[in-house]
Chain A
Amino acid sequence: MNVFYWTVAGTASGLIIVGLWGVLTRKNILRIGLAFTIADTGVNLLLVWSGYLPGRTTPILNGDVPAAEAVSAVVDPLPQALVLTSIVIGVAVAALFVVVAVLASRRLGTADIRRMKELKW
Chain B
Amino acid sequence: MIRTLFVLLVLLVLAAAATSVIPHLKMRTELDGAGLEYARRGLEDTGSINLVTAVIVAYRGLDTLGEVVVLFSAATSVMLILSLFPLGRGPTDPSFIVAHTARVLPAPIMLLAVYFTTHSHLSPGGGFPGGTIMASAFLLVMLGSSSTPAGSKILPALEALSGTTFGLLGLWGTMTLGQFLNNRVIGIGNPGYLVSAGIIPLVSLAIGVKVASEFSGIFAAFRKSGGNR
Mark A residues whose CB is within 8 Å of B. 2, 5, 9, 13, 17, 20-21, 24-25, 50-54, 58-62, 67, 70-71, 74, 76-81, 84-85, 87-89, 92-93, 95-96, 99-100, 102-103, 106
A62–B25 CA distance with the chains assembled, in angstroms: 33
Q: What are 15 A-B pairs with beta-carbon distances under 8 A?
A: A5-B27, A13-B18, A50-B28, A59-B39, A60-B124, A61-B49, A74-B31, A76-B28, A77-B54, A78-B34, A85-B63, A85-B128, A89-B74, A92-B75, A92-B215
* B14–A89 CB distance below 8 A: no
Query: With A21-B11, A59-B50, A96-B77 given, is the CB distance from A88 to B132 under 8 Å?
Result: yes
Q: Which of B78-86, B105-113, B146-154, B161-169 contacts A (4 or more CB under 8 A)?
A: B78-86
A36–B50 CA distance with the chains assembled, in angstroms: 31
Mark B residues whose CB is within 8 Å of A. 4, 7, 10-11, 14-15, 18, 25, 27-31, 34-36, 38-40, 42-44, 49-52, 54-56, 60, 63-64, 67, 70-71, 74-75, 77-78, 81-82, 85, 87, 122-124, 126, 128-129, 131-132, 192, 211, 214-215, 218
* B71–A102 CB distance below 8 A: no
Which of the residues A20, A60, A89 comes within 8 Å of B49, measured between beta carbons? A60
Instruction: Please provide the 3 A-B residue pairs with the shortest distance between their CB atoms, ordered closest to farther.
Output: A76-B35, A92-B74, A59-B51
* B87–A96 CB distance below 8 A: no
A24: chain B residues within 8 A (beta carbon): 7, 10-11
A58–B49 CA distance with the chains assembled, in angstroms: 11
A59–B121 CA distance with the chains assembled, in angstroms: 11
Query: With A59-B39, A88-B71 given, is the CB distance from A53 to B28 under 8 Å?
Result: yes
